[in-house]
Homo-oligomer: A and B are copies of this chain.
């Protein structure tokens, strides 16, 4: 009998800035046997996140970087196809850090949750019902603390996180202004994600556009960018503003450490609060959030976009695509439909 093979994407070299396709290699390995206490997952969709840049970086980050020769750390959703583990039955749909690979042998520590909203597409567990939706949910509600009537400003507003932030803010009764790059994305902000206004940071004077869209400034600023977009936003905070630092997508590297206008004076004068978000810190409350997010999706109040490519061969170049801003919606790699 021929050995069944599983392809996996390994980190080949440590990138100095944005990871490119050439920093990875695809290797075929035998699908492993399942020992006692383990289970085997066949991945359906692999996720691509801006955070992956950090996961392969040796500079200041949350966790140890992915080692050279190791399978790329990644969220994925897959079906349990064999199990000798009491908590995960064959047929279960699970999501978690399963890695950029076709088959993952698991002990359960990789799994964020078993996907129970089986009336919705499984890919949603990687986007609007996954890391991105959860990031938007906890970042906006717990750190941004929006009140009805607040003016909520969102950078990367058409992205997987930003689009959810804007829509949840609307559900909370806020006025929402999105910042995105280019007319297609600003149109998406207004038409698909219900922003009251959308500003194109590539078009003319961002500061003047923000002044026009946000008279009186922002009560909440949800930032995924750092850099000039964020600098313009920080100069337009209202008194008592809450700033959520969710990502630093516009900074190609933190070695050397980039400089920019000091934010201290804005924070001081506006008595603002700037908070950093790691969504995994809210892991104990994921079930609460998924229940609410799924209800909003079913009610048509939380729209999403997915940008799906087929086959594991499309994974290595996908992080660089994200940073070039080429995707619209959650970037996913489809391996199988079930």
- A residues with a Cβ closer than 8 A to B are 60-62, 223, 226, 230, 245-248, 251, 254, 257-278, 281
Nearest-Cβ distance from residue A224 to partner chain B, whole angstroms: 10
Copies of this chain in its oligomeric complex? 2
Residue of B nearest to A260 (CB): B262
Chain B residues whose C-beta falls within 8 Å of the C-beta of A246 in the assembled complex: 268
Pair B276/A230 contact, Cβ less than 8 Å: no
Contact of A268 among B247, B258, B265 (CB under 8 A): B247
In whole angstroms, what is the CA distance A55 to B292 when docked? 47
Contact A268 B277 (CB under 8 A): yes
Contacts of A251 in B (CB 8 A): 262, 265
Q: Do B257 and A262 touch (CB < 8 A)? A: yes
Question: Nearest Cβ distance between residue A129 and chain B, in whole angstroms?
Answer: 23
Do residues A245 and B264 form an inter-chain contact, with CB atoms below 8 A?
A: yes
Instruction: Give 14 pairs: A residue, B residue, CB < 8 Å, sorted on A.
Output: A60-B269, A245-B264, A245-B268, A248-B262, A248-B264, A248-B268, A257-B261, A259-B261, A260-B260, A271-B276, A271-B277, A273-B274, A273-B275, A273-B276
A148 CB to closest chain B CB (Å) equals 22
Look across to chain B and name the residue whose beta carbon is closest to the beta carbon of A258. B262
